[in-house]
Amino acid sequence: MADYDYDLFVIGGGSGGVRCARFAAGYGAKVAIAEERYWGGTCVNVGCIPKKLFVYGSHMAEELEDMAGFGWRVGETSFDWQRLVANKNDEIGRLNGIYERMLRSGGCEVIDGRATIVDPHTVEVAGKRHTSRYLLVATGGWPYVPHFMGCEHAVTSNELFFLEKLPKKMVIVGGGYIAVEFAGIFNGLGVEVTQLYRRNLFLRGFDRDIREFLADEMRKKGVDLHFNCDITMIEKQGDRFVATLDRGTTIEADLIVYATGRHPVTKGFGLEEVGVKLGEDGAIVVDDMFQTSVPSIYALGDVVGHMELTPVALAEGMAVAKNLFAGETATVDYDMVPTGVFSQPEVATVGLTEDDAHERYGAIDIYTSEFRTLKHTLTDNTERTLMKLVVDRATDRVLGAHMVGTHAGELIQGIAIALNAGATKAVFDKTIGVHPTSAEEWVTMREPVRGQEEAAQ
């Protein structure tokens, strides 16, 4: 076997790359990992973690309003955007350090800089070449703004984490979870928010009942939602921006944000030059073992475009480390992956939507529960919660669980365990609920609200 400097060289210090590097080193491999920007990747720096911190902050105004119903009286209040950003920056800096220390203490060589692939076993960083038996590309994704007249005036979700001041009015373009979450965040912080989406309903791919219910709740909270609507041009007029819509009207704002998707970061790394096959969207094409078209090069995480979720990247990193250095045959099952959208109110889901379940299984039954939580009975808050179960009529197996409501992300984790274990509706029914909680509704939905039959029937 040829001699190499390393057994594994990882390009990208995000969640998936770091997980693979640490566990590969734990299995006895000699590992190096290079990162050109910041340790922890999108999730830690401009994604999950800072976004969730902003979500917490944006909830406080509503909590202050709800306090009155419980007898609390609060004096004059104010909000300091700069302090929130500074505190967030301190926490992210702390996490950056933790990631780097974990790698070093785990036996990995940590290299700061941009790594480019020279050949199937060689990378170059800052003019120095390193050889490795295997290369792993985990460079993630990056937000983009589509090209149109005035597109240079728009910002992406990355810039929202570092705004110098809070805008009074903003337009958010997009219908994915990032757009929905930031609409809730800035609306909660007192910004006048308009969200535009070019299709007829946001969160494409989620259960339709959930999407419609969330739209109603967001409008109740003050977000100005416009579907079947897009921007054709942006003009800067003084300190403000004027967006022309495809319906012929205009809208003014202090800030226009595009959350219309992310592209895999694959350009400029030498991938195509060494023969790594890319898909039409620029994502790296891999097999079930995360091997690319070049046998010595592997890829995982957002750069392969399977499911752009941090826990999925972590699972993929574990699988690659086990396959290459632990003598195992590990794959990742994407069928029952729980997902949370930290909208306001939250969305959480696991398993199949109603439409997908009907298409795959035919006859299904649908159970739902819609209610106002106990907490809000003493307040003026009109927010409502929706829970939904999708059940295969032939086997009684629960195929999907979906929720809109407070702590939906926390509640769906346990349901995901049950669905991965193959739980039936009968198992849900015989489980005793925790009272009084919203969670008990998962086990008290006794009668289906509707069913869907196979076409032949």
> Is a pLDDT exceeding 60 seen at residue 140?
yes
Order of strands, sheet of 347-351, starting from the edge strand that comes earlier in the sequence? 339-341, 347-351, 398-404, 385-392, 364-371, 450-452
Q: Is 263 a catalytic residue?
A: no
- pLDDT value of residue 125: 97
Closest listed residue to residue 405, CA positions, set 336, 341, 338, 309: 341
Percent of the chain with pLDDT over 70: 99
pLDDT above 50: residue 1:
no
- Annotate 129-167 with DSSP letters as a single string: EEEEEEEEE---EEE-----BTGGG-B-HHHHTT-SS--
Q: What is the mean pLDDT of the segment spanning 125-149? A: 97
DSSP string computed for 174-243: --SHHHHHHHHHHHHTT-EEEEEESSSSSSTTS-HHHHHHHHHHHHHHT-EEEES--EEEEEEETTEEEE
Residue length of the chain: 457
What confidence category does residue 456 fall into, taking pLDDT thresholds of 50, 70 and 90? very low
Sort residue 384 into left (φ over 0), alpha (ψ -120 to 50) or beta: beta
Separation CA 223–CA 173 (nearest Å) = 13
Say whether 424 sits in a helix, a strand or coil. Answer: strand
**The two structure tokens encoding residue 222:** 């003050």
Q: Tell me how crowded residue 74 is: count the other CB atoms within 10 A of its CB.
A: 10
Angle at 281 between CA 275 and CA 286, to 5 degrees: 50
Going along the chain from its start, the domains and CATH numbers come out as 6-142+263-325 (3.50.50.60), 151-260 (3.50.50.60), 339-449 (3.30.390.30)
Average pLDDT over residues 202-228: 98
Tokens at 410, concatenated: 């926390």
Chain-wide mean pLDDT for the chain?
96
Helix (H, G, I), strand (E, B) or coil at 67: helix
**Predicted local distance difference test score (pLDDT) of residue 286:** 98
Where residue 238 falls among pLDDT bands split at 50, 70, 90?
A: very high
Task: Please check the confidence at residue 440 and state whether its pLDDT lies above 70.
Answer: yes
Per-residue confidence band for 454, with pLDDT thresholds at 50, 70 and 90: low
pLDDT digits (tens, 9 = 90+) for 396-424: 999 999 999 999 999 999 999 999 999 99
pLDDT tens-digit profile of 310-347?
999 999 999 999 999 999 999 999 999 999 999 999 99
Q: What is the pLDDT of residue 387?
A: 98
Asked whether the whole model's pTM tops 0.85, one would answer yes
Distance CA 393, CA 380 (A): 40
pLDDT of residue 230: 97
pLDDT digits (tens, 9 = 90+) for 85-121: 999 999 999 999 999 999 999 999 999 999 999 999 9
pLDDT at residue 242, as a whole number: 98
- Average pLDDT (250-262) is 96
Please tell me which residue in 147, 153, 376, 435 is annotated as part of the active site.
Answer: 435
Decide: 54 and 33 in contact? Cβ < 8 Å: no
For 141-166, what is the mean pLDDT? Answer: 97
Instruction: Kindly report, residue by residue over 32-79, the tens digit of the pLDDT.
Output: 999 999 999 999 999 999 999 999 999 999 999 999 999 999 899 999
Q: What are 354-372's pLDDT values in tens digits?
A: 999 999 999 999 999 999 9
